[in-house]
Amino acid sequence: MTLRCRVIARYGSEIDALQPDGSVRRASLRRRVDDVVCGDVVTVDSVGAVVRSREPRRNHLARRDGFNRPRTIAANIDRAWIVVAPRPEIPHLLIDRFLVGIRNLPAEAGIVVNKSDLAFTGDAATSDPDLSNYTHLALPILRVSAHTGLGLEAFRAAAAGGCNVLVGPSGVGKSSLIQALLPAERLRIAEVGQGGEGRHTTTTARWYEAEGGAAWIDSPGVRDFSPEIASVDQLVQGFPDLSEHAADCRFRNCTHRSEPGCAVGAAVDRGLLPAARLEAWRELLASLIAGGRGRG
């Protein structure tokens, strides 16, 4: 007999499988069915605990590692939340890169500023972080705090139904947020060691079921993220704000680098588009042309 199970996490050649009765069981992967990640739906042999097959995926989030190999992080995603913290600073280019990856899944994207309890302590160094590069985009930007509970109900409501993955740098509080949203679970929160390095950080993506058919996926932190894109058309998907102006460029195939009559450059000059967004476009275009080498 086989059971239809959700893949909660993958560890090398094994997975944790959420069985229909709600219990979790370790099962092993064979080479024939090896492309399995957190969020997948698989059938598992109830006797040998071997994964027999994987159902087709709606989508999957992947990144390129340091050797430019695609690494699948999680599958079957409805919404991806880019989690950042006001300190040390907002990682703008990382947000731009994630937006390209998320829009190409396709999935809905949102930005979550955690540790907002730090942002309003009064001194200038911890003042409200600047997210003006993104306020013109049609996406939710939520201020929350896993520690004080600020904004968590709004976050829960924005994430209702479907599968939500939290992505972003390590140490911003992704695991803490899921812990705060699901108090019955026991997540590993990073303790900062004596040298300031984080310990007990998340090393593999993990699925948590929530009420009302929603789910949360906690993912390992990344310093950098290279979306798995292969064409300029896919890059365009990540920059709907540039595309709006690109229709007025003199050249239909304008790349908005140094062409005459570029309406995107003009929009930046007129303050209609943040300069950082055009810089991010140019950066990603350059790495796309270079084959994405050296990014992970």
Ligand X SMILES: Nc1nc2c(ncn2[C@@H]2O[C@H](COP(=O)(O)OP(=O)(O)O)[C@@H](O)[C@H]2O)c(=O)[nH]1
287 binds Mg ion (CB under 5 A): no
Considering only residues 243 to 262 of the shown chain, the ones binding Zn ion according to CB under 5 A are 249, 254, 256, 262
**Cβ 241 to Zn ion shortest distance, Å:** 13
Residue 261 sits at φ, ψ, to 5 deg, of 70, 25
Considering only residues 123 to 142 of the shown chain, the ones binding Zn ion according to CB under 5 A are none
Indicate the residue whose CB is closest to ligand X: 173
Residue bearing tokens 């509080």: 173
Token readout for 194 is 């004596």
262 binds, among ligand X, Zn ion, Mg ion, none (CB under 5 to 8 A by kind): Zn ion
**Cβ 202 to Mg ion shortest distance, Å:** 3
Q: Which of 29, 95, 113, 264 binds Zn ion (CB under 5 A)?
A: 264
Are 87 and 121 spatial neighbours (Cβ–Cβ below 8 Å)? Answer: no
For residue 260, is the peptide bond before it cis, meaning its omega torsion is within 30 degrees of 0?
A: no
113 binds Zn ion (CB under 5 A): no
CA distance 115 to 28: 38
219 binds Mg ion (CB under 5 A): no
Q: Which is nearer to Zn ion, 156 or 256 (CB)?
A: 256
Q: Tell how many helices (H) and how many strands (E) occur in the chain.
A: 8, 15
**Binding mask of the shown chain, residues 96 to 135, with x at each position contacting ligand X by CB under 6 A:** ------------------xx-xx-----------------
**Cβ 283 to ligand X shortest distance, Å:** 24
Nearest CA among 234, 240, 241 for reference residue 274: 241
Q: Which is nearer to ligand X, 66 or 193 (CB)?
A: 193
CA distance 137 to 99: 11
- Tell me how many residues contact Mg ion (CB under 5 A): 2
Q: Which of 43, 179, 202, 287 binds Mg ion (CB under 5 A)?
A: 202
Considering only residues 156 to 195 of the shown chain, the ones binding ligand X according to CB under 6 A are 170-176, 189-190, 192
CA distance 92 to 86: 12
Considering only residues 156 to 175 of the shown chain, the ones binding Mg ion according to CB under 5 A are 175
CA distance 66 to 293: 8
Query: What count of Cα atoms within 13 Å lies in the side-chain half-sphere of residue 218?
Result: 27
Overall residue count recorded for the chain in this entry: 296
> Tell me, what DSSP letter sits at residue 50?
B
146 binds ligand X (CB under 6 A): yes
Quick check: helix, strand or coil at residue 197? coil
284 binds, among Mg ion, Zn ion, ligand X, none (CB under 5 to 8 A by kind): none
Q: What does the binding site for Mg ion look like in residue numbers (CB under 5 A)?
A: 175, 202
Q: What does the binding site for Zn ion look like in residue numbers (CB under 5 A)?
A: 249, 254, 256, 262, 264
Q: What does the binding site for ligand X look like in residue numbers (CB under 6 A)?
A: 114-115, 117-118, 145-147, 170-176, 189-190, 192, 201-202, 221
